Amino acid sequence: MGNIQINRQPQQSELDMMGVYTWPIWQKEASEFPWHYDATETCYFLDGDVTVTPDGGNPVSMGKGDLVTFPAGMSCTWRIDAAVRKHYSFS
């Protein structure tokens, strides 16, 4: 199983090439919950401040402007400190 990969402030051209703005949007208020990834998720944060802690791993912070990839098979806990809006795609 891989690690969470973060591309902080990716170039607009990269986002356009990936088709990020055509992906669905997910939103959630400040909260904390467990999550498991059955498939790899790539997402681009439009808003928010989040800390994701993989089970048995170290916390990873992310938020507005970050392009993040979560590996398939990862179980984790999401802690949302500021409401999230993100584009997402599963592969």
Kindly report, residue by residue over 5-53, the tens digit of the pLDDT: 999 999 999 999 999 999 999 999 999 999 999 999 999 999 999 999 9
Q: What is each CA distance from 2 to 29, 30, 47, 77, 87, in whole angstroms?
A: 27, 27, 25, 16, 21
User: Which pLDDT value is given to residue 2?
Assistant: 76
pTM: 0.95
Superfamily covering domain 5-51+58-90: Jelly Rolls (2.60.120.10)
Phi, then psi, of 13 in degrees rounded to 5: -65, -35
